[in-house]
């Protein structure tokens, strides 16, 4: 009998990038794999621990400005996220995590510019108003209900994409990247996006897309009526906001 190694999901720096509940993205990915018969393991890494070189998907979440600076310093010193991307692993980064994996971001009152990890061709600066509230976007290249992505955004940074990054989606309600009506960015197996929620619980097709990038294989559809119902409720809530 051949033993297949469990799919390793790496949850990066919850103590710094965990205040918005984005660790739920790890639970969602693990569950969706388990429901399909895969073995999974979730590795939680804190600053000071080395990032494993064995992960198939690395998850970063949202955080406060100061925590975000500590996280980028520790990740730069570690180097493991760059090695993961070079290996073709998937990176899914939310909000502060998204800003960190770009080329630079500014924080705080002084608009101090901090160098990012440069894994995604984006730069983030402070916007005139903080983006707070439900967000609805339309995923580029997708059709039907799966194309509608919902979440909750809460960020002061506005993000500009460079030529090597493609927007993930177009904003229908909310702010997203801000300047040009786009939301999030993708380059190969690296995805950055603003919504919390956790966003992969609200958008199972996006969760499966991350898994397909990580595994390099198509996944069979997974009908779950309770998730359809959650989606229906969240879409209704955000469309109510749109009025
Ligand atoms: N501190 C960042 C900002 O305000 C990120 C916030 C977050 O992760 N929700 O833009």
Q: How confident is the model at residue 237 (pLDDT cuts 50, 70, 90)?
A: confident
Q: What residues are in contact with ligand 1 under a 6 Å CB criterion?
A: 20, 62-65, 68, 95-96, 154-157
pLDDT classification of 69: cutoffs 50, 70, 90: very high
- Ligand 1: residue whose CA is nearest its atom 7: 62
* Residue 82 bears catalytic tag: no
| Residues 134 and 111 sit within 8 Å (Cβ to Cβ) | no
**pLDDT, greater one: 187 or 145:** 187
Percentage above 70 pLDDT, the chain: 98
The CATH code belonging to domain 7-242 is: 3.40.50.880
Residue with structure tokens 């980028």? 72
**Ligand 1: centre distance to CA 232 (Å):** 27
* pLDDT at position 238: 87
Q: How far is it, in rounded angstroms, from Cα 234 to Cα 243?
A: 14
pLDDT for the residue numbered 210 = 98
Q: Give how far the C-alpha of residue 30 lies from the chain's centroid of Cα atoms, to the nearest Å.
A: 15
Q: How many residues does the chain have?
A: 243
Question: Would you tell me how many other CB atoms lie within 10 Å of the CB of residue 241?
Answer: 12
Span 89-117, average pLDDT? 93
155 in active site: no
Q: Answer yes or no: is pLDDT of 2 > 90.
A: no
Q: Supply φ then ψ for residue 226, to 5 degrees.
A: -70, -30
Q: What is the mean pLDDT of residues 61-81?
A: 96
Alpha carbon distance 29, 42 (integer Å): 10
Residue 57: pLDDT over 70: yes
How far away, in angstroms, is 50 Cα from ligand 1 center?
A: 24
Residue 94 has pLDDT above 60, yes or no: yes
Atom of ligand 1 nearest to the CA of 157: 10
CB-based contact 131:194 (threshold 8 Å)? yes
In the chain, the percentage of residues whose pLDDT exceeds 90 is 91
- β-pairing verdict for 190-193 and 90-94: parallel
CA 33 – ligand 1 centroid, Å = 29
Question: Is this model's pTM higher than 0.85 or not?
Answer: yes
φ, ψ for residue 160, nearest 5 deg: -115, 135
Cα 76 to Cα 94: distance, rounded to the nearest angstrom: 18
């Amino acid at each position: 009998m051949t033993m297949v190694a469990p799919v390793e999901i790496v949850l990066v720096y919850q103590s710094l990038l965990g205040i918005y509940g984005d660790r739920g993205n790890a639970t969602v990915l693990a569950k969706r794999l388990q429901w399909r018969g895969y073995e999974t393991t979730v590795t939680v890494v804190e600053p000071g621990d080395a990032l494993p070189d064995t992960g198939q998907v690395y998850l970063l979440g949202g955080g406060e400005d100061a925590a975000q600076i500590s996280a980028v310093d520790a990740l730069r010193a570690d180097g493991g996220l760059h090695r993961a991307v070079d290996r073709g692993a998937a990176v899914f980064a939310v909000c502060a995590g998204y800003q960190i994996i770009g080329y630079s971001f500014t924080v705080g009152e002084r608009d101090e510019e901090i160098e990012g990890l440069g894994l995604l061709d984006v730069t983030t600066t402070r916007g005139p108003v903080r983006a707070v509230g439900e967000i609805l976007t339309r995923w580029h290249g997708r059709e039907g209900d799966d194309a509608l992505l919902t979440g909750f955004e809460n960020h002061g940074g506005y993000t500009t994409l460079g030529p090597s990054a493609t927007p993930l989606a177009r904003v229908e309600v909310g702010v997203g990247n801000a300047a040009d009506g786009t939301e999030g960015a993708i380059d190969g197996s690296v995805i950055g996006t603003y919504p919390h929620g956790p966003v992969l619980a609200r958008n199972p097709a996006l969760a499966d897309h991350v898994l397909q990038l990580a595994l390099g294989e198509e996944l069979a559809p997974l009908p779950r009526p309770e998730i359809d119902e959650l989606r229906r409720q969240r879409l209704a809530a955000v469309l109510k906001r749109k009025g």
